[in-house]
Amino acid sequence: MSDALRADTSTLAPGEVPTGDAAVRDAVARVVRARHVAVALDFDGVLAPLGDDPMGVTMAPGAAEALAAVAAHPDMTVALVSGRRLEDIVTLAQPPVGALLAASHGVEHGWVTVDGASAEPLEPTAAERDLLARLDDAVAAIAADVEGAWVERKTFARVLHTRTAQDGEAAEATDLAVDGPAGWPGVHVIVGKSVVELAVRDVTKADGVAWVRERAAADAGLATSDVAVVFAGDDTTDEHALVSLGPDDLGVKVGPGETAATLRVADEPAVVDLLRALLAARG
């Protein structure tokens, strides 16, 4: 790569992440050398802007086409790694045939075929069901006292949403959840943007990305070491995945905030541009 296209990192402060077109070109040129590239993306804040109505968001222009092009490439895999339920991801993203799905922070595994989306069957144990019932009562009681707060019920978690609550009340509700049921034995807490997820299984997006790499390698008949992962996320919950990446992978932070990523892009349209750059470089 010519010096004109190489990202200049000499003036970056410690912990600062390179940005801009040159940084994107440099990162893309490095990762596309792998035999196979698995592109794993968060959904909210990465492919679709955040919204007050979780089921009312739409993907950025060009995102669907870019996902389909990655899925169609013989040496690439596309995956969605999201905190959302698998069925919601399928509804909102309409992922292309060949896409892998790691939903609920990696608890749920699925894939898309010509016949539609399929998933590995999962059921809570009796102990997990009892704990979920206790969480249901506790989180519902917290949300009931805060206008705009609500509870999402997942197979293995209860999630307190406070995006539409007043800032002060949202912060208080978050503290009540973190200082209360989050500390119960068997509960695993993930705090993100205006959400507190209380899960009964200890799984993060790092596990979701690991599954994507393994599945992509198996589908391609390769070793996992032959697969480079490109993972993009915007939230603190995505940092689990970003810190798990190896030196031959590419971690991308979308938007502001401290991160373990090696590249930062501005917003959802910039993610679409990154996918296009990957496809162009891959050929």
Dump pLDDT digits (tens) for 105-132: 999 999 999 999 999 988 999 999 999 9
Cβ–Cβ < 8 Å for 217, 223: yes
Say what the pTM is.
0.86
Q: Which residues contact 266 (CB under 8 A, 6 or more apart)?
A: 19, 254, 255
**Which secondary structure element, helix H or strand E, spans residue 153, and what is its range?**
strand 150-154
Note the pLDDT of residue 231: 98
Dump pLDDT digits (tens) for 200-227: 999 999 999 999 999 999 999 999 999 9
Q: Show the tokens assigned to 44.
A: 């909210």
Note the pLDDT of residue 51: 87
Note the pLDDT of residue 16: 67
Confidence category of residue 19, pLDDT binned at 50, 70, 90: confident
Residue 52 pLDDT > 90: no
Confidence category of residue 1, pLDDT binned at 50, 70, 90: very low
Per the model's pLDDT, the better-predicted residue between 193 and 92 turns out to be 92
Domain annotation for the chain: domains and CATH numbers: 3-121+203-282 (3.40.50.1000), 126-199 (3.30.70.1020)
The least confident of 15-19, 123-127, 255-259 is: 15-19
How deeply is 92 buried, as exposed, middle or buried, from its count of CB atoms within 10 A (0-12, 13-18, 19+)? buried
